Structure 1
Amino acid sequence: MHPMLNIAIRTVRQAGNIIIKYYETIDSNEYKQKNYHDCVKYIEKETKRQMTIMILKSYPQHQIITESNHEIHTESKNTEWIINALDGNINYIKHFPYFSISIAIRIKGRNEIAVIYDPMRNEVFRAWRGHGAQLNGYRLRGGIVRDLEHAILSTNCSFKINPNITSYLNITQKLLSQCLDFRRSGSVALDLAYVASGRIDGYLAFNLKPCDFAAGELLIREAGGLVTDFNGSNNYFYSGSFISGNARIVKNILTYINSQK
């Protein structure tokens, strides 16, 4: 196993222990007297701090990028660790057990290692460029669904007011009438891990940050899937908008979206 992959797995597992400890006590009288959102911000901050300590202990010269410091350097000479300490914090607040911790390691402008951890199910999704993707040691090969009518799709599309809400809703509405079912689960990283494992057949992303999708992007590719922007190109890393799934599903989504313009 690559030594950085080993550290990444140890780091997300340690972070998962912190997340679960607070998850089990957040309904106690001590926390009921506080604002739940403030509590989760504290938990996320503490988890991020512990992850940073573990990473820098082994690799003190590496750069750590979080959701609040998300500038990615294309030709960076430093190795970049893109971390998300709690992806799905609203789910966490509501005790909806669907959230995750993720790490992507980027070397010379390329995602090389990815780990996504679901602490509630003790599932570790991992990928190493050129060495495939795994779930708890078992090889992942992505989904086999070929047609939209049999596909479960997911998205991060928010129904809150934003400048692009109309175009987002138009795209999802078009696909909703074609696919088997549509989901918005609340944890981007975990959804992308599910695409890599075939539990979800396709994912539509809109304006995401690298900490949301960097790990999932590599997982999907190493599981044999595709990730493209809405024009079928690879210019999605900085826009944060893309389509992912197996090759046939991605092609069908692109074809259908473009035919409806």
Structure 2
Amino acid sequence: MNLNTIHHQAIKLVKEVGEFIKHESENFNTNKVEHKGFNDLVSYVDKEAEKRLVEGLGKILPESGFIAEEGTSNKKGDTYNWIIDPLDGTTNFVHGLPVYSISVALQQNNELVSGIVLEINRDECFEAVKGENSRLNGKPISVSQGLDLSQSLIATGFPYNDFDKMDDYLSILKHLMQNTHGLRRFGSAAVDLAYVACGRYEAYFEYNLNAWDVAAGAFIVQQAGGKVSRFNGDDDFIFGREIVSCSSEVYEELLTVLRNQWKHNQ
């Protein structure tokens, strides 16, 4: 089975699980929500979605392992590993806000080779496979072109359980409020990254993230012509707990802001 076949079978599976999540959202009972930690929510929908993804992806690529948010499988693959967030934006889902997604990426020998982000409510499937351009519902997409930071709309995420870096973060927000078209906080890192990939945002940055939050979306941004790194510019954004993704024109400007204000990198 070649990579393109694996990728397209994974897209089909992700869409099927997306239908399950959409159905469950119609009559979701908030009393069934659990707390993994402060402001860290999980529901039976997250767990069941992940179970279905792990089972399905395991059939598509039997030798693969998993890095999955809810820990459904701890199997590690020698060559292939899926990185899965079954419901990115659980807090939005629980509160009935229509911005949440499924995020699935595939690593081959520690290199990202496939990424899928399904924004469930708008039925938008952002995806990319190694060697090909990123697509939205089958049509090619690219990051925005020709805009500098002052012309940019920026996405971010607010801290929800790690407030030690709050002063640095607020300093960055202040600068960007005064020097861009504005800031948005949707509550799904995967969606934010996908929106950078198709040019709806010029940039996105956030800290205190996990691999399953960013892997698929970051790969889609890269395949759409964008740049991705940590705040200090290094490329360990999958496991580095922070990410900045931009169009190429905005990247150096935003990185300078982050380096100047984010003292925890010094």
Structure 1 and Structure 2 fold alike (TM over 0.5): yes
In 2, Cα distance between equivalents of 1:111 and 1:172? 30
Check if 1:35 corresponds to 2:37: no
Check if 1:114 corresponds to 2:110: no
State the match for 1:218 in structure 2.
219
The change in CA–CA distance for 1:61 and 1:161 in structure 2 (over 3 A counts) is closer
State the match for 1:137 in structure 2.
138
> Structure 1, unaligned stretches of length 5 or more?
none
Return the letter of the residue paired with 1:216. Answer: G
Offset of residue 258 of structure 1: 4.2
Question: 1:105-127 CA distances to partner (integer Å, 9 max, x unpaired)?
Answer: 00001000000001211111010
Check if 1:44 corresponds to 2:41: no
State the match for 2:61 in structure 1.
59
State the match for 1:228 in structure 2.
229
Check if 1:23 corresponds to 2:25: yes
State the match for 1:205 in structure 2.
206
In 1, Cα distance between equivalents of 2:93 and 2:145? 31
State the match for 2:93 in structure 1.
92
Return the letter of the residue paired with 1:63. Answer: G
In 1, Cα distance between equivalents of 2:24 and 2:196? 28
SS in 2 for 1:111: strand
Question: 1:162-206 CA distances to partner (integer Å, 9 max, x unpaired)?
Answer: 222222222222222111110111000011000000011100121
Offset of residue 144 of structure 1: 1.9
In 2, Cα distance between equivalents of 1:13 and 1:161? 33
- Residues 32 and 44 of structure 2 are in contact (CA less than 8 Å); yes or no, is this contact kept in structure 1? no
State the match for 1:246 in structure 2.
247
State the match for 2:148 in structure 1.
147
- Residues 87 and 187 of structure 1 are in contact (CA less than 8 Å); yes or no, is this contact kept in structure 2? yes
Percentage identity across paired residues of the two chains: 29
Structure 1 vs Structure 2 CA RMSD: 2.3
> Structure 2, unaligned stretches of length 5 or more?
35-40
Using the TM superposition, name which of 105-114 and 37-46 deviates more. 37-46
Question: 1:67-97 CA distances to partner (integer Å, 9 max, x unpaired)?
Answer: 2459998xx6230011111000111111111
Check if 1:14 corresponds to 2:10: no
Return the letter of the residue paired with 1:185. Answer: F
Offset of residue 131 of structure 1: 0.8
- Residues 106 and 113 of structure 2 are in contact (CA less than 8 Å); yes or no, is this contact kept in structure 1? yes
Offset of residue 251 of structure 1: 1.1
SS in 1 for 2:143: coil
Offset of residue 159 of structure 1: 5.5
Offset of residue 236 of structure 1: 2.6
The change in CA–CA distance for 1:83 and 1:235 in structure 2 (over 3 A counts) is closer
- Residues 93 and 99 of structure 2 are in contact (CA less than 8 Å); yes or no, is this contact kept in structure 1? yes
SS in 2 for 1:106: strand
Please, what TM-score do these two structures have when normalized by structure 2? 0.88
The change in CA–CA distance for 1:160 and 1:25 in structure 2 (over 3 A counts) is same
Offset of residue 207 of structure 1: 2.2
- Residues 66 and 74 of structure 2 are in contact (CA less than 8 Å); yes or no, is this contact kept in structure 1? no
The change in CA–CA distance for 1:101 and 1:161 in structure 2 (over 3 A counts) is closer
Question: 1:21-44 CA distances to partner (integer Å, 9 max, x unpaired)?
Answer: 111122xxxx3xx61524961111
In 1, Cα distance between equivalents of 2:232 and 2:161? 25
Return the letter of the residue paired with 1:100. Answer: S
In 1, Cα distance between equivalents of 2:203 and 2:133? 19
State the match for 1:193 in structure 2.
194
Aligned residues: 253
The change in CA–CA distance for 1:51 and 1:68 in structure 2 (over 3 A counts) is closer
In 1, Cα distance between equivalents of 2:109 and 2:209? 21
SS in 1 for 2:179: coil
